[in-house]
Amino acid sequence: MALPVWGAVGWVRLPLRRVPWSIGSRESRIVGPRLRCLRGDLSRGCGSVAGASEEEGLLQPAAVVPLLRRVGAACNLSVRAARLLVENRRVLVDGATCTDMRAMVAAGSSVRVFNKSREEVEAPPPRDFYLKFFKPRGVLTTHRQDDRSSAPIISALYPRGAEDVLHPVGRLDRESEGLLLLSSDGSFTLFATMPATHVPKEYMVVTDCIRDGVVAPPSEALLAQLREGVDIGDGSPAVAAAAEVVEFDGRFARIRLVVTEGRFHLVRRMMRAVGFSCLQLLRTSVGDMRGVVLRPDTLAEAAYEAWHPEVPAVAPATRGGCGSGSWGSGPGKELLLRPGEFAEVRPEEVQAIYDRGLEWLELHHPVGGWRGPQKK
């Protein structure tokens, strides 16, 4: 089996093999749009494609990565196994023993590991990327172009220099837009998407408020139903952590919804359950990661775009912050991405996702209760 990827020399086919999943199971796992999240040995890229990242204008790997990721990539270990090495004081950072599993290390730091054979191994910085991307409406979150559809696919929009290793962290359906995380780190993807970590995701929903000839935004009673849980037809109630009307123009309303799970078309089905449609579904945050512009300027324009969809342009993503209106107002002046733009995820945001996963791992797979695979 091979995966076609775009590299410096054109389309190439990257051989795939089944590899253990990052929690330690012996089966590989499909995440998001049926993509296999690969562990350290494949996520670092291949041949000339990896070397091309040195060229001017291409995206450079993350300058700071989780220590566990660096140890795991160097030793071909899961995060679960890498925790054991750190716990047993077998990891040195810049010559000093490090026992902090939450540590983030810079690319310039020296990391050495004493593996299970007691051999000292250098752990070079992995070629990893952690990106925030504003997915335009009309783009499919997949790497495979369907012959029956002319819709562009997400891999055609990846930034130059990381096309061969990126995968989406979760997914947004074709008609949804907004914040989509991209990464080459399978553990980051797992921790950000697994239901047990309860990573909150915020959506802004534009809906038509005409119902039975009456124009009115969703009532507080309907919003309370969303917060208490509604039946969306799959046997398990869907609960919103937050639901409120944030804007109403006399015809259309914008509703803020926060959910902590990721079922198929979850928000659309929740809105349908209380009798409202989704003219626009825009994701504005994943955990603490924000930074997309709330567009278009009016609710009527959002409705018009829904009724008159256009095929988005297909081009590699551009770095955000280069145009006018790309920065928010206020003391922080947060970078606001527009459709087709990307920005790096900050190290503290990567650490926050890892913290959620490590908390779950410690609860269900404590280091003291697991000593790795035993020799027969």
pLDDT of residue 87: 93
Helix runs in the chain, H state only? 40-43, 47-51, 67-75, 79-87, 186-193, 220-228, 266-273, 299-307, 347-364
| Model pTM score | 0.82
**H/E element, 5:** strand 2-7
Query: What local confidence, expressed as pLDDT, does residue 19 receive?
Result: 34
CA atoms of 90 and 202, how far apart (whole Å): 40
Q: What is the pLDDT of residue 99?
A: 94
- Spatial distance between the Cα atoms of 330 and 333, rounded to a whole number of angstroms: 5
CA dist 253 and 247 (Å) reads: 5
Q: Nearest Cα to 138, choosing from 157, 151, 122, 121?
A: 151
Report pLDDT for 330. Answer: 54
Per-residue confidence (pLDDT) for residue 286, from 0 to 100: 97
Preceding peptide of 296 cis, ω within 30°: yes
The predicted structure's pLDDT at residue 14:
45
Please give the single-letter amino acid code of residue 308. H
Beta 201-208 vs 167-169: how paired, if at all? unpaired
Total residues found in the chain within this entry? 376
Q: Along the 376 residues of the chain, how does pLDDT read in single tens digits?
A: 444 444 443 444 444 433 333 333 333 333 333 233 333 333 333 333 333 434 566 899 999 999 999 999 999 999 988 999 999 999 999 999 999 999 999 999 999 999 877 889 999 999 999 999 999 999 999 999 888 888 999 999 999 999 999 999 999 999 999 999 999 999 999 999 999 999 999 999 999 999 888 999 999 999 999 999 999 999 899 999 999 999 999 999 999 999 999 899 999 999 999 999 999 999 999 999 999 999 999 999 999 999 999 988 899 999 997 654 566 655 556 789 999 999 999 999 999 999 999 999 999 888 865 444 444 4
Sign of the CA dihedral running 263, 317, 289, 52: positive
Judged by DSSP in three states, 147 sits in coil
Q: Which residues are catalytic?
A: 173
State residue 334's pLDDT score: 76
pLDDT at 55: 55
Rounded-to-integer distance, Cα 126 and Cα 106, Å: 11
